[in-house]
Amino acid sequence: MKAKLNICLIVLALYGFGTSGSPGGAEALAAVVKPQLSHQTPTVEAPLLRWDSRQGGDTIEDAVPIAVGETLYGNTVGYNNDYDEMCPYGGNAPDVVYIITAEENGSLTFDLCDSDYDTKILVWDEDLNLVACNDDACSNSQGDFYRSFATPYCSAGESYYVIVDGYGMDAGDYQLHVGADWCADECPPGATPEGEQDCHDDYVDVSNGGCFSEPPVFGTIECGETICGTSGVWNSYSDYQKDHDWYLFILSDSATVTWTVYADFTVTAQLFDFVDCENYGNQVFASDTVGACQETVVTVNDLEPGVYVANVEIYDCYLWVCGLEYWGRLECAYEEVEPVLEVAGFTLSQNYPNPFNPTTTIEFTLPRPEQVAVSVYNLQGELVAVLAAGVFGAGVQQLVFDATGLPSGIYLYRLQAGELAISRKLILLQ
């Protein structure tokens, strides 16, 4: 998949993904506060090079080629400090350089977690644009923290410089493992384009940023629909923002809902209820986070009629370019609902349209002339409208409910005919 060279740097690095519920890892890492640079002398250890060591080059001019699946062992003691980036700490540590060419579109992974010192890793493209930078993301097998891990998205045929660096002036033995998650490029046939332009520096999402847009703006998705979109991270007034894509959907009846997402980036897929931007997400029904180029499926059983959000967002704070692709598919298995409720010859039909704004038609049938009352209530049981009160003749009757001035939400309408009462739900979406 194509990725623009709008490069941005994220200063918080998380290694590990949440599962159901809120994404995990962030709270634990937040408690680990790394001190600002204070030491002025390097941590120098005698090189303990293995027999199978393969040192990186001193500069990009003599970068050592590497490939996916390799594990490289080396030591940075005695090398020069040629390169550095703030992510979030700078420094004067010695560094070595490797080079790799991506075989396919997807995420390359560079893992320094089992190194013996406080590492940092930088990844540059062929034009020396920064595409990934990480200081602290993991710990080694002895439990020592402050090790590094990066997973940038890389384009097929492009070469990338991988720089093994250190925090402050730290140096020592390192172990670099190179992996890959190659992405399946195809957008499913018949999918709907998201319609949002690729993000860029100082980008403003006017398409579907939900409550993260100002003013709030939402995309929509229908049950059975697949949407193909793009995402990324951008620099906005020296602060880094990630794309949030919100898709509103409406359930007219109870249903089991499944939201399937596949992305070129580490993605969080969520289903949550929606009232407004002050109360959104007060109940997250399902959430899952997976690594790049993997599929995640979240399912919620027996969701009541109402308005909900299917959400796609980049989870981790590694650097991701704009224009990375994803697709999401929404499936709804409705419970069987009688279009007409009948009791002793009296019927009450589902209002139409439903959802509606601001008017809808309510139809009922009487087997004989009868004293009738048709009323509308909110979910707190409060009466909000009386649509009819009087004697109606036998046959089909229709009433129009005008909900102007009422807030969006689920309401109950009730037919009272003598001793008989029938109720149904309707959905107002302003």
- Which position has the higher pLDDT, 170 or 239? 170
Ranked by mean pLDDT, the top range of 94-98, 194-198, 247-251 is 94-98
pLDDT-based confidence at residue 372 (cuts at 50, 70, 90): very high
Q: Above 50 in pLDDT, residue 13? A: no
Q: Above 50 in pLDDT, residue 2? A: no
pLDDT per position as a tens digit, 25-54: 333 333 334 444 433 334 444 445 554 578
Runs of H (alpha helix) within 266-337: none
The size of the chain, in residues, is 430
Give the pLDDT score at 276. Answer: 72
Paired tokens of 52 = 């199978």
Distance CA 134, CA 274 (A): 35
Give the pLDDT score at 136. Answer: 82
Rounded to two decimals, the pTM is 0.59
Give the pLDDT score at 23. Answer: 31
DSSP 408: S
Give the pLDDT score at 152. Answer: 84
Contact 249, 223 (CB under 8 A): yes
Phi and psi torsions of 337, nearest 5°: -125, 130
Q: Above 80 in pLDDT, residue 403? A: yes
Give the pLDDT score at 254. Answer: 84
- Which position has the higher pLDDT, 40 or 230? 230
Distance CA 261, CA 277 (A): 24
Q: Above 80 in pLDDT, residue 338? A: no
Give the pLDDT score at 54. Answer: 85
Closest CA to 129 of 161, 81, 90, 164: 161
Q: Above 60 in pLDDT, residue 267? A: yes
Q: Above 90 in pLDDT, residue 237? A: no
Across residues 339-351, what is the average pLDDT? 76
Give the pLDDT score at 33. Answer: 43
pLDDT-based confidence at residue 346 (cuts at 50, 70, 90): confident
Q: Above 50 in pLDDT, residue 272? A: yes
Q: Which domains are assigned to the chain?
A: 34-182 (2.60.120.380), 192-334 (2.60.120.380), 340-428 (2.60.40.1930)
Across residues 378-384, what is the average pLDDT? 84
Across residues 201-206, what is the average pLDDT? 82
Strands 346-349 and 359-366 come out as: antiparallel
pLDDT-based confidence at residue 58 (cuts at 50, 70, 90): very high
Phi and psi torsions of 122, nearest 5°: -120, 145
Across residues 218-229, what is the average pLDDT? 92
Give the pLDDT score at 110. Answer: 94
pLDDT per position as a tens digit, 110-139: 999 999 999 999 999 999 988 888 888 888
Give the pLDDT score at 50. Answer: 52
Strands 244-251 and 306-314 come out as: antiparallel
Q: Above 90 in pLDDT, residue 259? A: yes
Indicate the average pLDDT of the chain.
Answer: 81
pLDDT per position as a tens digit, 137-195: 888 888 888 899 888 888 889 999 999 999 999 999 999 999 987 777 678 999 999 98
Give the pLDDT score at 43. Answer: 44
Q: Above 60 in pLDDT, residue 277? A: yes
Q: Above 50 in pLDDT, residue 396? A: yes
